[in-house]
Structures are given as structure tokens and as C-alpha cells.
Amino acid sequence: MKKKVMSALALSGLLASSASAASVDAFGHIGTAYNFGLKNEVSTAEGGKKPWFGGATARAGVEIGFGAVSIGVGATGGLPYAISPSSSVFGNYVRNGYFTKPSNVEWYNWISDAYLRADSSLFSFIGGRYNLGEFFDGKDGLNPNGVDWVSGQHEGLSFILDTRYFAWWGTYSYEMMNYGAENPGRFGNDLMGFNQYYKTGHYLSTGFDIRIKDILYIDPFATYVVDSNLLQLGGKLDLRLGRGTFKSTTTLRGMYQAYTKGYSQSTYLGWIDQEFLVSNLVKFGGGFYSVGKNHGIHRSSDKARFYGNTFGSQVDYFAHGVNSWYGFIGLTDKYFSFDFLYAGGDYQEISAIANVNLYKDRFVEFGLGGGWVRSNHHDQAVAFTKLSF
């Protein structure tokens, strides 16, 4: 009996010691956005009305760390609201296209995160359900890397082998879910949609991030989607010059895309983007890109500057045969940010979006914003608010 008591006390002490050594971090967001359509885009047969609808999404979870190893669990959901016209084909498309109807969501797909993660100075690994973008980009989204065409919630595994001069990364995705546009860096990008986990077709991608004195970044990659026999080979070159008051970032992207079976025709993407940053506050620049005429670029995410599909317009600016140019100017501040962009050519956009952070610290960020987006034949005013933690 005495041995059992002593063993129990020892176990209790061990558990208490482990608990005191554990770190607990919350993550997630809750927010909403509304799209005020300014043109009569709904068909005449349905009344020829302006399309209006809102979206609300949420994700909340905790990550518990035990030194180099951590586990995370989280839940998610999303709903449309105030759809007009609500009883039309448009209304049904919003409820069942932009969003997964709650009654159709499998119980286990309310679980957004359930992962095991391990980190060291050289190697990082994550497996389960997790936010792929946060793993590669960091929570602040500022880690430089070549993972430009996939982000959001995924079920699978990813790794980073990081050395002094280069990093090797890889990811496998079996399923993914999204909150709408999935274009990181655009305000409100995760508020206007919710689609439960669905199969990606066994998505495999790997690449290298080569760093030369924090000035030149070379990021080749290869992607293969097993079920669709889709192959992508490409890369990115980042040249970062200047320190202090004036900085310049020149980004060149290229991609070759083909199907190894079935379709015989291939396509390509060529893209240049130039940004100047003054006093870490004012940014301006422009770019040009060209897509081959046979197929558009397959992706689940991108890091373009456009707002055309952020608030529910479903615009594909990387469709086949698109050649477009753009110019932009904006402000980047802790409490206020502004993006203005004008694009011409086969894809056209004028967008002006502002965001005000009402509160921001290391753990919580709360803001609201809005603006105007015209993309091709779509025209909309938008408003949004979001709490991130």
C-alpha cells in the first residue's frame, strides 16, 4: 500500500511538473464581411436585382507545447446571412456554393485543427489537420518562402529542413477546407465562404528556399496532384535592396503546368512584381503577368495583390490566355492600412480597401474596414470586421 501511495505521489509530481512546463497558446479568428452589389447582376428572369450577401466565419483552438513538441486542437464554422435576392438561383448558390450548408457538414469536419508538431533549430514537422499557411509563413505571415500556391486548412503533413543557407520544404495534403478566397495578405480574405474538408486528389509539393545574404531569395518548387495527373514546375526569385528609409523588392515568378495523362496541352505563367517601400509606411509599384492560352493556373491559393475574388465574386485572374498589368499604392501602419490597385488588360480591376486596427498587441488584433472593388463586370462595396488571436 505504501509503495502504491509513493508511486501515486511521484506520478502526481511528474504530471504537475509537466503541466507547469507546458505552454498554452490560443489561435483563431471570428469575423464577418458584407458584399453590397452595385450592379444589377442577378438575371432578369430573377428580378434583375443587385446581389447582396454577408458571410461570417470563426475558428478557435489551442496549442499546448511541451518543449519541442506541441499538440493543437480547434473547431471552425461559417454561415451566410442577409442574402438578397434570397429565394433565387443566386441565393441557393451562396448557401450551397460559397458555403457548405450546416446540415451537410459531417460532424468531424467542424474540427479544423487536430495536429502534432515538432520543432528544432534545424527541422520542423507538422501532421494532422492544421493551417498550412501559418506553418510556412509564420503567424505574422512574414517568413520568406516559396510556398505561394497553397495555404489554408489542410489534412496531411508538412516539413521544413532549415540550414544556414537554404531550406528544404515539402507538403502532402489529403483533404483541405477553405474560408472563401484564400489569398493571404488581402483584408477580409477568410470571411466570405466556408467549405468543409474535401479531398484534394493527393496533393504533393516540395521545393527549396535559397537565401543569399538576405538580399536574393531563389525558390524553385515542384507540385504533383496524383488524382488529376497535374504537374507544376516553377519558382520565384526575390531581390530585396535597400535598408532604412527606402526599400525595393523585385519578384519574378514562373511556372510550367501540364497533365501527365489525358490533356496533351500545357500552359505557363510569367509574372513580375515590383514594390517600393518608403519609411516602412508608403508602398507603391506595379507588375505584369501572362498566362498561356491552353489552360488556367491550378491553385488553391495565391499571393496576388488583387481583391477581385476576396469578397465573393469568384473571379479567376489567372484564367487561360490572360495578359494583364497593374499598378498599386498603399499605406502600411500598425493601426491603419490602405490598398489601392488599378489593373488593365484581359483582367481589369479597380480596388480601394482600408483597414483600421482598433486594438492590437502581441496576442490579439481587432479591426474593421471596407471599400470598393470593381473587377471585370462585377462592382461591389464591401465592409468587414475581424478579431484575430
Question: What would the mean pLDDT of 113-130 be, rounded to a whole number?
Answer: 97
How many CB atoms sit inside 10 A of residue 50's CB? Answer: 17
State pLDDT tens for residues 234-259: 999 999 999 889 999 999 999 999 99
Q: Is the pLDDT confidence value at 122 over 70?
A: yes
> What's residue 46's pLDDT?
60
Residues in the chain: 389
Q: Which residues of 181-206 are buried (b: 16+ CB within 10 A; e: fewer)?
A: bbbbebbbbbbbbbbbbeebbebbbe
Q: What is the DSSP string of 176-203?
A: EEESS---TTSTTTTSS-BEEEEEEEEE
Answer yes or no: is pLDDT of 44 > 90.
Answer: no
Examine the pLDDT at 50 and tell me if it is beyond 50: yes
Helix (H, G, I), strand (E, B) or coil at 116: strand
Span 82-103, average pLDDT: 86
CA–CA gap between residue 158 and residue 138 (Å, rounded):
14
> Which range is least confidently modeled, 103-107, 126-130, 156-160?
103-107
The full set of domains in the chain, from first to last, is: 36-388 (2.40.160.10)
Give me the pLDDT at residue 41, please: 72
Residue 327, pLDDT > 80, answer yes
pLDDT at site 11 = 44
pTM of the model: 0.88
More confident residue, 184 or 290: 290
Dump the DSSP string for 325-339: EEEEEEEE-SSEEEE
What was the pLDDT predicted at 376?
87
Res. 313: pLDDT tops 90 = no
Q: What is the pLDDT of residues 254-305, one digit of tens each?
A: 999 999 887 778 999 999 999 999 999 999 999 999 999 999 999 999 999 9
CB burial class (10 A; 0-12, 13-18, 19+) of residue 111? middle
